[in-house]
Amino acid sequence: MDVASDEMAMLAFAFIIAKYWVSVTSLAWYWYAIVFVVFIIKPLMAMIKN
């Protein structure tokens, strides 16, 4: 599967969740920052190793 189409599908899925599950969008900003940091650690470490 093409990586770009996979990423676009995940983005669309995230927008659907945000539209129909309103409590997700009402979270404080730091929850989004925590999730971002947790999920960026592995790709960032792989990028640094190369």
Identify whether the C-beta of residue 18 lies closer than 8 Å to the C-beta of residue 24.
yes
- What pLDDT does 15 receive? 92
Six token digits for residue 33: 């920052």
pLDDT digits (tens, 9 = 90+) for 4-43: 788 899 999 999 999 999 888 898 999 999 999 999 999 8
Residue 47 has pLDDT above 80, yes or no: yes
Q: Which residues contact 31 (CB under 8 A, 6 or more apart)?
A: none
